[in-house]
C-alpha cells in the first residue's frame, strides 16, 4: 500500500463525510415533513422496519450504505432512533445476500451471468446515473423543490464516491497474499474474531472481506473452525463505516451508529458462546473439515438470523444501552431539547417546539398545584420549588420564542406559520400562569408571617374556587397537549363559573366585614388570592381560545372569541350549569 493509496484514502474519507452532511442538510430543507411521514409509515412497526432494511440492503448489496443512510435520516430528524433499530437489524440480514451471489460465480457460466446482471444493482453501478440526474435537476430545475432533490442526489453520490475511494485505496491489501494469509494465523477463536474485525475495518466492507474469505476457500486450507470466528469478526469490523459517518452528527445519529456496533458485537458474543458450548457438549464433527463458498454463505446467514431472533425482543434495552453510551450533555436540562440544526427542517423544528411547550405546560401545572396547597399548609421547600418552576417557565418562553422566530418566513408553509403563531401565543399565557402561582406563594407567606387565620367558611369557599381553577388548568393543558378542540370547548364555561365565584366570594367578605366577622387585612390578602385565581382562569381561556381559533378558523381573533364560542357551541349553557352545580358554595352563615 503506497503513499498514493493513503492520500486517496484521506480524500475518500473527506468526500464521504462531506457527502454525508451535505445530503443530510438538504434532506432537512426539502423533504423534512413528507419524508418523516413516509418513513414513519413504512417503519410503523418493527417488522416493517426490518423488512425495509433487509430489502434495501439486499438490492444495493451494502449494509454499510444502508446504515450510513439511516444515520443520515436520524441526524436530520426524519427518523426516530427506535425506528432505526429494526431497520439496522434488517440490513444485517440483507447483507448476507452478497455472499450467496459470490457463491453463484463458482457454479459455472449461468451463475456468472446472474452475478453480472445483479452488479447493476450495486451502488457503484447506479451512483453515476444518480449523479447525472442530480446535476440536471439542480441546473435545469425551475423550482426550489426539484433543485433540492438534485442536491440530495448529488450529496448521496459524493458520499458513495468517497466510500468507493476508501475501498479502492485499500484494495491492494485484499490482493496481497501476506495480508490474506494473516487470516490463517489465528487458530484461537478470539484471535480469529480479531483478525476478521481488523481486516473488515480496514477494507470498510464486510461484503468484500467475506468475498476474500470465500476466495480463500478454494485452497482447502480454511476449516469451519477457522472460518466461524473470522466471519463473526468481520460483522463487527463493518461497523466502522457507520461510526465514521456519525462524526459531527447529533447525539441520536451517533446512537444509531452504536446500535449497529452493539447489535453485531453482542450477537458475536452470544453466537460464539453458544457455538463453542454446543461443540464442547456434542462435538461438531465438521469443525476440522474444509469449508467452501456455500458454507461461508450459510454461516454468515445463520449468524445474522440468530442475532436478530435473540436481540429483537430486547430492542428497548438496546436503545437504553446506546443512550447510556452516548449520554446527554452534563448540565443540560429539559429546556435545552431544541437543536438549532433542525431549523433547516421547519416541520421537524415545530414538532420539537410543540414537545417543549408540552413540557412547559407540565411545569406550569405543577407550580399551581404546589402554590394552592401552600395557602392551607405552608412548606418552605414547596414554595422554593414553585419559584424554581417559574424560572424554568421563563427559560421555556425565551427558548421557544427565540427558536421559532429564527425560522425564516420563506421556509415555512402557511399551515406551519399558523402553528408557529399559536405556539408563540401559548407560551406567553403559560408563563403568566406560573407568575400568578408565585403570587399565590407570596400571599401564603404573608398569611404565615402575619399569622392571619381565615374563618372556616372563608377557607371552605376558597377551597371550592381553588378546585375549580385546578380543573380549568387541567382541561386547558390537556387540550393543549392533545390539540383537542372538544376538550378546549369545556374551558370557557368553567372560566365563567370562576368569574362568578370571585364576585360572590368578594361579596361575602364585605358582608362579614360589615358584621365585624372579618378584617380589612383579611380582605386585602383574600382579594389578591382571588385576583390571581381569576387571572389564571383567564389565561386558560386564552389557551383554549387559541387552540380553537387556529384549528377551526385559521386565525386569532381573540377579542370576540367568547361571543363566538357561546354561539357556536350548543352545549355551552349545559356545561356552564354542570360546572355551576359542581362548584356551588354553601349558603353563607353570616
**Residue-range domains of the chain with CATH:** 3-325 (no CATH), 337-451 (1.20.58.220), 453-590 (1.20.58.220)
Give the N- to C-terminal CA distance of the chain in Å, as an integer.
100
Can you read off the three cell numbers belonging to residue 210?
467475506
- How far is Cα 129 from Cα 392, in angstroms, rounded to an integer? 52
At 311 the pLDDT is 87
Please return the burial class of 265, using the count of CB atoms within 10 Å of its CB with bins 0-12, 13-18 and 19+.
Answer: middle
User: Distance (Å, rounded) from C-alpha 280 to C-alpha 284?
Assistant: 8
What span, in angstroms and rounded, lies between the C-alpha atoms of 437 and 365? 10
Return the exposure string of 302-318: e unless at least 16 CB atoms fall within 10 Å of the residue's CB, then b: ebbeebbeebbeebeeb
pLDDT of 260 reads 85
Question: Could you tell me which of 68, 86, 65, 85 has the C-alpha nearest to residue 76?
Answer: 68
What pLDDT does 555 receive? Answer: 64
Q: What CA–CA distance (Å, rounded) separates 103 from 97?
A: 10
pLDDT at 331: 45
Mean predicted lDDT score pLDDT of the chain: 78
Q: Which three cell numbers, joined as nine digits, stand for 301?
A: 446467514
How far apart CA 265 and CA 543 sit, in angstroms, is 50
Instruction: Please give the full DSSP string across 468-530, using - where no structure is assigned.
Output: HHHHHHHHHHHHHHHT-HHHHTTHHHHHHHHHHHHHHHHHHHHHHHHTTSS-HHHHHHHHHHH
Joined grid coordinates for residue 319: 436503545
Q: How far apart are CA 468 and CA 528, in angstroms?
A: 17
Alpha-carbon distance 253 to 263, whole Å? 16
Cα 190 to Cα 236: distance, rounded to the nearest angstrom: 13
User: Considering the chain, what percentage of its residues have pLDDT values greater than 90?
Assistant: 16
Is there a contact between 572 and 493 (Cβ–Cβ < 8 Å)?
yes
Output the pTM of the full model: 0.52
| Residue 299 Cα distances to 225, 272, 453, angstroms | 11, 12, 81
- Write b or e for each residue in 374-410: b if 16 or more Cβ atoms lie within 10 A of its Cβ, otherwise e: bbeeeeeebbebbbebbebbebbbebbbebbeebeee
Four-residue CA torsion sign, 470, 476, 478, 484: positive
SS (H, E, C) 226-247: HHHHHHHHHHHHCHHHHHHHCC
Are the beta carbons of 371 and 469 closer than 8 angstroms? no
Q: Tens of pLDDT along 252-290?
A: 788 888 888 898 899 889 888 888 888 888 888 877 777
For each successive 10 residues of the chain (590 residues), what is the average pLDDT?
A: 74 70 59 52 76 75 70 70 84 74 48 52 70 87 76 78 66 57 62 80 68 64 78 83 75 84 89 86 80 80 88 87 78 54 72 88 93 88 91 89 77 76 90 93 89 84 92 93 88 92 88 77 87 93 86 62 63 88 76
pLDDT at residue 334 in the model = 46
Q: How far apart are CA 25 and CA 155, in angstroms?
A: 9
pLDDT score recorded for residue 238 = 79
Angstrom distance (rounded) from CA 501 to CA 477: 22
Rg (Cα) of the chain, in Å, rounded? 33
Question: What pLDDT is stored for residue 175 in this prediction?
Answer: 59
Beta bridge mates, 290 = 223
Amino acid at each position: 500500500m503506497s503513499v498514493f493509496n493513503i492520500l486517496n484514502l484521506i480524500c475518500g474519507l473527506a468526500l464521504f463525510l462531506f457527502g454525508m452532511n451535505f445530503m443530510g442538510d438538504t434532506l432537512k430543507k426539502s423533504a423534512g415533513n413528507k419524508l418523516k411521514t413516509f418513513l414513519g409509515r413504512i417503519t410503523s412497526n418493527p417488522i416493517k422496519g426490518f423488512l425495509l432494511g433487509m430489502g434495501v440492503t439486499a438490492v444495493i448489496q451494502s449494509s454499510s450504505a444502508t446504515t450510513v443512510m439511516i444515520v443520515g435520516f436520524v441526524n436530520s430528524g426524519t427518523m426516530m432512533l427506535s425506528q432505526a433499530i429494526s431497520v439496522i437489524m434488517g440490513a444485517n440480514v440483507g447483507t448476507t445476500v452478497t455472499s450467496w451471489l459470490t457463491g453463484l460465480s463458482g457454479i459455472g457460466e449461468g451463475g456468472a451471468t446472474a452475478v453480472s446482471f445483479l452488479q447493476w444493482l450495486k451502488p457503484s453501478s447506479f451512483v453515476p446515473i444518480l449523479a447525472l440526474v442530480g446535476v440536471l435537476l439542480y441546473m435545469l430545475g425551475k423550482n426550489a423543490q426539484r433543485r433540492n432533490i438534485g442536491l440530495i442526489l448529488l450529496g448521496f453520490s459524493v458520499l458513495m464516491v468517497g466510500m468507493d475511494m476508501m475501498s479502492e485505496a485499500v484494495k491492494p491489501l485484499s490482493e496481497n497474499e501476506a495480508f490474506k494469509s494473516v487470516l490463517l494465523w489465528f487458530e484461537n477463536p478470539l484471535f480469529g474474531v480479531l483478525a476478521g474485525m481488523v481486516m473488515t475495518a480496514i477494507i470498510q466492507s464486510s461484503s468484500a472481506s467475506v468475498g476474500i474469505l470465500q476466495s480463500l476457500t478454494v485452497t482447502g486450507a480454511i476449516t469451519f473452525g477457522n472460518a466461524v470466528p473470522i466471519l463473526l469478526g468481520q460483522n463487527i469490523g463493518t461497523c466502522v463505516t457507520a461510526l465514521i459517518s456519525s462524526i459531527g452528527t447529533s447525539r441520536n445519529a451517533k446512537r444509531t451508529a452504536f446500535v449497529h456496533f452493539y447489535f453485531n458485537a453482542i450477537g458475536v458474543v452470544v453466537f460464539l458462546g453458544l457455538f463453542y458450548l454446543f461443540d464442547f457438549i456434542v462435538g461438531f464433527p465438521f469443525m476440522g473439515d474444509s469449508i467452501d463458498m456455500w458454507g461461508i454463505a450459510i454461516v454468515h446467514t445463520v449468524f445474522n438470523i440468530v442475532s436478530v431472533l435473540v436481540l429483537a425482543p430486547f430492542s428497548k434495552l438496546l436503545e437504553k444501552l446506546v443512550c447510556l453510551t452516548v449520554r446527554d450533555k452534563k448540565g443540560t436540562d429539559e429546556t435545552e431539547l431544541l437543536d438549532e440544526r433542525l431549523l433547516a427542517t421547519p416541520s421537524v423544528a415545530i414538532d420539537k417546539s410543540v414537545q417543549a411547550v408540552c413540557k412547559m405546560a407540565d411545569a406550569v401545572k405543577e407550580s399551581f398545584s404546589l402554590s394552592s396547597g401552600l395557602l392551607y399548609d405552608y412548606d418552605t421547600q414547596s414554595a422554593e420549588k414553585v419559584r424554581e418552576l417559574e424560572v424554568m417557565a421563563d427559560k421555556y418562553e425565551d427558548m421557544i420564542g427565540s427558536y421559532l422566530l429564527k425560522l425564516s418566513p420563506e421556509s415555512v408553509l402557511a399551515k406551519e406559520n399558523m402553528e408557529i403563531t399559536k405556539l408563540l401565543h401559548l407560551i406567553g399565557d403559560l408563563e403568566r400562569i406560573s407568575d400568578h402561582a408565585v403570587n399565590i406563594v407570596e400571599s401564603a407567606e404573608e398569611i404565615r408571617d402575619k399569622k392571619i387565620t381565615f374563618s372556616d367558611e372563608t377557607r371552605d369557599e376558597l377551597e371550592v374556587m381553588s378546585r375549580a381553577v385546578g380543573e380549568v388548568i387541567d382541561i386547558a393543558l390537556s387540550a393543549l397537549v392533545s390539540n383537542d378542540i372538544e376538550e378546549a370547548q369545556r374551558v370557557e364555561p368553567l372560566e365563567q363559573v370562576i368569574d362568578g365565584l370571585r364576585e360572590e366570594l368578594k361579596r361575602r367578605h364585605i358582608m362579614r366585614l360589615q358584621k365585624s366577622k372579618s378584617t380589612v387585612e383579611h380582605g386585602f390578602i383574600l382579594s389578591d388570592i382571588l385576583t390571581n385565581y381569576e387571572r389564571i382562569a383567564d389565561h386558560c381561556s386564552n389557551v383554549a381560545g387559541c387552540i380553537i381559533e387556529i384549528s377551526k378558523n385559521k386565525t386569532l381573533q381573540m377579542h370576540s372569541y367568547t361571543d363566538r364560542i357561546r354561539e357556536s357551541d350548543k352545549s355551552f349553557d349545559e356545561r356552564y350549569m354542570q360546572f355551576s352545580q359542581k362548584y356551588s358554595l354553601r349558603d353563607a352563615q353570616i
